[in-house]
Amino acid sequence: MVSANKKGVAVNQKSYRKPSLWHVIAQNKTLLLMCVPAIVFFFVFSYMPMPGAYIAFTNFQYNKGIWASPFVGMQNFKFLFQSGQLGLLLRNTILYNLAFIVLGNVLQLTFAILLNEVQSKRYKKVTQSMMFLPYFISDVLVSLLVYNLLNYDYGFISNLVRALGGEMPKVYQMAGAWPIIIVLVNLWKGTGYGTVVYFAAITGMDSSMLEAAQIDGANGFQRIRYIILPTLKPTVVILFLFAIGGILKGNFGLFYNLVGNNSMLFGTTDIIETYVYRSMMNSFNFSQSSAVGLFQSVVGFFIVIGANAFVKKLDSDYALF
Amino acid sequence: MKKLVALLVAMMMLTAMLPVMAMADSAIDTSEHVVITYLVTGDIPTNRTEEVLAKINEKLTEKVNAELKIRWIEWTDWTTKYNLALATQSGDIDLIGTATDWLNAWPNIQKGAFLPLSEDMLKTYAPKTWEQVPAENWELCKYNGEIYLMPEDHYAQWTNHGFMYRGDWAREAGLENGVHSWADLAVYFQYIKDNKPDVIPWDANGNGSSYGPQMAGGWQTSHTTNVYIEGIGVDLFYGVSKDDPYTLSNYYIEGDELVNFAKEMKKWADAGYWRTDVLNYTGDVAAEMEEGKTGAHQHHTQTWTGERTTMEKKQPGSDLGFFWFGEEMNNVVGLNITHGAMAVAMTSKNPERALMVYDLMRNDPEIYRLMQYGIEGDMYTIDENGYIVRPEGYEQSKDGVDLNYWWGRNDDLELRDGKKDWEAIDALYAAYDAVKINYPYGRVVFDLANVQMYLDNLSNVYNTYMPRIVFGMMDDPEAYVAEFRAQLKAAGIDICMQEIQRQLDAVYGK
């Protein structure tokens, strides 16, 4: 693992002198080489476009380009605050993301550990693939599935309930039901993917620890509780820190397809992205939409910094930087 | 050194003058073969388009030494992709299909996406188009005194919305002359509800964002004299009437008509004319109607002209009729001539040749018919009445050509499809022509930068409330409309109306 090795180098050198940058690079050249594609990717798609965020402060003119367009200061940011909806949008966006992050990680961790305990290789492979599949189903199809299950007149569940003599509620008019539905759908879609990450971390663990525990008489639960979980802690913390940076960003595809323009559900389902879409679908204002994106990124940035500082305070080994 | 600089400057001036000199010369220099890229909305066709395009390019090369390359903006996320293509152009596009109502031509002009076309340029490089478009129509294509658009003004079509309904079922319902009002429509729906248990009267797919404006505007033009003003982005702005078009209507701020609409739609919803979860339904209404599973389809006249033939084949005797919005008040506006228009990209490297190519696309009989219908004798023939006849087993999606050329169609060169029911179509067009007015706002180009923030918030309010009003999804329509109006006020409808009124006054004087 990259992090383990980097740390290893640092520890070895500390007793002599602070290693020079070149030395570190030379020592880790193979690992760094393996990182190059990722570094290039983030440089090209995340760092190079960054100056372009300036567009959020301009009245963008196509023929003048970003830099020569008239500067308008914070005007593009105003609309989000002027609407009076920001509180609701922030609440929904953050609560959904927290639910996704917390429940998602718990489920992924659980499934990864359960998978690890399964002995049959074939069963393991098949289960993993089956769990992974929903990840590839587009949100449009997911929304159709949900509609065909839940719609009042002809839905599968509605028919089932009626056949059993029950009274089907009008789910598409119940705002309260949707946080549960959306979180469930999101978990169904994402758990398989996340499980693989944790499963890889478990597979990468030093097996001698587990063997030693076994010899010392630790049972299955004790192995999980005292060996596997503590070893996974850094991975959990890192994934959590990564995820929390996007806490103001919503999954537009999922929310828009499931809810659409059904405003009876907006109270509990409206997130920043869907609101921006509804407001700007007819004006195509690149500057204003960039302003919203920048706002989300800047807030996300400070949240990551804050969370990282917090983690550092608890245990500096686990912090990102 | 000074001499060298002087020489260089002289050379530069000479080079700069070359194009001018070329223009002064009556023979246009087309010695260099160029590729003209044409930006158009639509899915990449899988029929014989490529093959026909090669033929078109042979002709274009022969005539103006240019060829056409097509850049498709596929329908998935098309609005974003289209506007991005304009924003990021770098000489990679030349001709752009645009429209002032559905493709944001004016905002794009204001943002500098298109090249201004001088009269000299048009006269020199697109002489036939220049001749064909009357002076008053060129006036409607100007922004700040310069022409930016070449309008599709020589092609009769109607894209006003309404309801397609089955004539046979309407007669069964006792509507001998068909559906001609919202009240008739209710009778028709109720008849279906009562007598055809397997049919949903109107299985609307209320999930899209277009139903709001279409239905709400439909009720409004059917019950008031209001005239729709396009190009503002939120459909809240109407003129009072054809006699007083330049005063804004207060329909969305006060009055009973909007409340009546909400009440009536709630009645329809409660009666079950559409499904309970209509707002999340995404089905294909036209296909359902063709299968006999629903009794109506809300779309525009042009769609109906084709659908009537299809329905006759799939549901023989269905006699598909069209109830058009505004029919009760004879309130219908002819299509704005810039509902389709061609523009030249700001960064085009060959604007002159682009104009020459467009002139041929629009006016050359051979090229026009290749583009619109394909290869004569192979893909179609013309019968003794002048109608186009397709060969046996012909399918547009497999055997046809699709260039989505909606920016300069020409009635002089159009061929009528012999399969369409021209008797019915001509009758409807005649009815329209008898009462229509021309689009009265063609000369005003709104500059909305100052109120954009309010318009965006209005857009949010409109798209939040209107879908529920349209499909009657509320307990108390009156209270709901009142809430909608309060929200519009809070979002700044008054400020926007003031600004739009001011700009109307500035152009049309008051």
Predicted complex ipTM = 0.83
pLDDT band at B8 (very low <50, low <70, confident <90, very high): low
User: Which of A257, A283, A289 is the best mutation test for B, with the most CBs of B within 10 A?
Assistant: A283
For residues A307 and A189, membership in a common domain is answered with yes
End-to-end CA distance of chain B: 63
Name every chain A residue with its beta carbon within 8 A of the beta carbon of B279: 172, 260-262, 264
Q: A16 is written with which tokens?
A: 């002599």
CB B407 within 8 A of CB B98: yes
Q: A299 is written with which tokens?
A: 């807030």
Domain around A146: 83-318
Q: Burial code of B270-282, b = ≥16 C-beta within 10 A, e = fewer?
A: eeebbbbbbbbbe
Question: Taking 50 as the threshold, does the pLDDT of residue A72 lie above it?
Answer: yes
* The pLDDT value given to residue A59: 87
Continuous segment of H or E residues that includes residue B321: strand B320-324
Q: Is B180 left (phi over 0), alpha (psi -120 to 50) or beta?
A: alpha
* The pLDDT value given to residue B95: 97
CB B65 within 8 A of CB B30: yes
pLDDT band at A15 (very low <50, low <70, confident <90, very high): low
Name the residue facing A261 among B87, B277, B279 (closest C-beta): B279
Q: B175 is written with which tokens?
A: 């509507």
Q: Is the dihedral of CA B285, B291, B294, B297 positive or negative?
A: positive
pLDDT band at A316 (very low <50, low <70, confident <90, very high): confident
Name every chain A residue with its beta carbon within 8 A of the beta carbon of B204: none
Name the residue facing B456 among A61, A170, A283 (closest C-beta): A283
The one-letter code for the residue type at A79 is: F
Question: Taking 80 as the threshold, does the pLDDT of residue A281 lie above it?
Answer: no
* The pLDDT value given to residue A65: 85
Class of domain B17-148+341-373: alpha beta
Longest dimension (CA), chain A: 79
For residues A4 and A105, membership in a common domain is answered with no
Whether residue A260 and residue B490 make contact (CB cut-off 8 A), yes or no, is no
Note the pLDDT tens digit of each residue in A157-171: 999 999 999 889 999
pLDDT band at B22 (very low <50, low <70, confident <90, very high): very low
Lowest average pLDDT, out of A213-217, B39-43, B350-354, goes to: A213-217
Classify residue B31 by burial, with Cβ atoms within 10 Å: 0-12, 13-18, 19+: exposed
- How many angstroms separate the CA of residue A235 from the nearest CA in chain B? 37
Name every chain B residue with its beta carbon within 8 A of the beta carbon of A147: 277, 280-282
Can you name the residues that pair with B228 across neighbouring β-strands? Answer: B238
The larger pLDDT score, comparing residue A24 to residue A91, is at A91
Question: Taking 60 as the threshold, does the pLDDT of residue B20 lie above it?
Answer: no
Whether residue A262 and residue B275 make contact (CB cut-off 8 A), yes or no, is no
pLDDT band at B11 (very low <50, low <70, confident <90, very high): low
* The pLDDT value given to residue B2: 56
- How many angstroms separate the CA of residue B49 from the nearest CA in chain A? 30
Note the pLDDT tens digit of each residue in B233-248: 899 999 999 999 999 9
Residue A234 CA to residue A319 CA, distance in Å, equals 9
Nearest CA in chain A to B487: A83
Q: Tell me how many degrees the CA angle A87-A91-A94 measures, rounded to the nearest 5.
A: 135
Nearest CA in chain A to B89: A62
For residues A21 and A130, membership in a common domain is answered with no
- Residue B117 φ then ψ, to 5°: -110, 115
pLDDT, average across residues B148-153: 96
* The pLDDT value given to residue A319: 82
Residue A109 CA to residue A105 CA, distance in Å, equals 6
Q: Cα–Cα distances in Å, from B98 out to B41, B95, B121, B355?
A: 9, 9, 20, 15
User: Which of A138, A174, A261 is the best mutation test for B, with the most CBs of B within 10 A?
Assistant: A261
For residues A120 and A269, membership in a common domain is answered with yes
pLDDT, average across residues B117-129: 95
* The pLDDT value given to residue B467: 94
For residues A110 and A27, membership in a common domain is answered with no
* The pLDDT value given to residue B7: 55
Whether residue A263 and residue B468 make contact (CB cut-off 8 A), yes or no, is yes
For residues A208 and A110, membership in a common domain is answered with yes
pLDDT band at B129 (very low <50, low <70, confident <90, very high): very high
Residue B464 CA to residue B478 CA, distance in Å, equals 17
Q: What is the mean pLDDT of chain A?
A: 88
What totals of helices (H) and strands (E) does chain A contain, helices first?
17, 0
CATH, domain range B161-334+441-508: 3.40.190.10
pLDDT, average across residues A16-34: 85
Continuous segment of H or E residues that includes residue A306: helix A286-314
Q: B255 is written with which tokens?
A: 């009055």
Name every chain A residue with its beta carbon within 8 A of the beta carbon of B109: none
pLDDT band at A16 (very low <50, low <70, confident <90, very high): low
> By the CB < 8 Å criterion, does A177 face chain B?
no
Residue B126 CA to residue B359 CA, distance in Å, equals 5
* The pLDDT value given to residue A7: 45
Note the pLDDT tens digit of each residue in A286-313: 888 899 999 999 999 999 999 999 989 9
* The pLDDT value given to residue A94: 94
For B234, which DSSP code?
S
**Max mean pLDDT range (A113-122, B5-14, B89-98):** B89-98
The one-letter code for the residue type at B100 is: T
CB A90 within 8 A of CB B465: no
Q: Is B144 left (phi over 0), alpha (psi -120 to 50) or beta?
A: left
CB B408 within 8 A of CB B340: yes
Name the residue facing A284 among B79, B280, B464 (closest C-beta): B79
User: Which of A158, A263, A276 is the best mutation test for B, with the most CBs of B within 10 A?
Assistant: A263
From B161, B181, B470, select the one nearest B333 (Cα to Cα). Answer: B161
The larger pLDDT score, comparing residue A143 to residue A19, is at A143
Residue A299 CA to residue A287 CA, distance in Å, equals 18
Domain of A94, CATH number, reads: 1.10.3720.10
Name every chain A residue with its beta carbon within 8 A of the beta carbon of B451: none
pLDDT band at B97 (very low <50, low <70, confident <90, very high): very high
Radius of gyration of chain B (CA): 25
Name every chain B residue with its beta carbon within 8 A of the beta carbon of A262: 279-280, 467
pLDDT, average across residues A194-218: 88
* The pLDDT value given to residue B208: 73
Q: A130 is written with which tokens?
A: 């089956």
Question: Taking 60 as the threshold, does the pLDDT of residue B103 lie above it?
Answer: yes
A69 located within any domain = no
| Sequence-ordered strand ranges (E) for B191-244 | 227-228, 238-239
Whether residue B281 and residue A154 make contact (CB cut-off 8 A), yes or no, is no
Name the residue facing B453 among A79, A154, A286 (closest C-beta): A79
Can you name the residues that pair with B294 across neighbouring β-strands? Answer: B200
* The pLDDT value given to residue B4: 56
> By the CB < 8 Å criterion, does A14 face chain B?
no
Residue B173 CA to residue B189 CA, distance in Å, equals 9
Put simply, the chain A residues between 28 and 87 with a CB less than 8 A from any chain B CB are 59-64, 75, 78-79, 82-85
Q: What is the mean pLDDT of chain B?
A: 91
* The pLDDT value given to residue A25: 87
Nearest CA in chain B to A259: B280
Total domains, chain A: 2
Q: What is the pTM of this model?
A: 0.86
Domain locations along chain B: 17-148+341-373, 161-334+441-508
Name the residue facing A151 among B206, B277, B456 (closest C-beta): B277
Name every chain A residue with its beta carbon within 8 A of the beta carbon of B91: none
Name the residue facing B455 among A154, A173, A283 (closest C-beta): A283
Question: Taking 90 as the threshold, does the pLDDT of residue B329 lie above it?
Answer: yes
Question: Taking 60 as the threshold, does the pLDDT of residue A12 lie above it?
Answer: no
For residues A21 and A164, membership in a common domain is answered with no
For residues A252 and A130, membership in a common domain is answered with yes
> By the CB < 8 Å criterion, does A147 face chain B?
yes
Note the pLDDT tens digit of each residue in A73-91: 888 888 888 878 889 999 9
DSSP characters over B437-471: B--TTTT-----GGGHHHHHHHHHHHHHHHHHHHT
Note the pLDDT tens digit of each residue in B218-237: 999 999 999 999 888 899 99
Q: Is B245 left (phi over 0), alpha (psi -120 to 50) or beta?
A: alpha
Q: Crossing angle of helices B257-271/B211-223, nearest 10°?
A: 120
CB A260 within 8 A of CB B281: no
pLDDT band at A204 (very low <50, low <70, confident <90, very high): confident
Whether residue A261 and residue B452 make contact (CB cut-off 8 A), yes or no, is no
Continuous segment of H or E residues that includes residue A84: none
pLDDT, average across residues B290-312: 95
DSSP characters over B120-164: HHHHHHSHHHHHHS-HHHHHTTEETTEE--EE--B------EEEE
For A44, which DSSP code?
I
Helices (H), B282-329: 285-290, 301-314
pLDDT, average across residues B308-329: 95
pLDDT, average across residues B151-164: 93
Question: Taking 50 as the threshold, does the pLDDT of residue A2 lie above it?
Answer: no
* The pLDDT value given to residue A73: 87
Whether residue A281 and residue B209 make contact (CB cut-off 8 A), yes or no, is yes
Question: How many percent of chain B have pLDDT more than 90?
Answer: 81
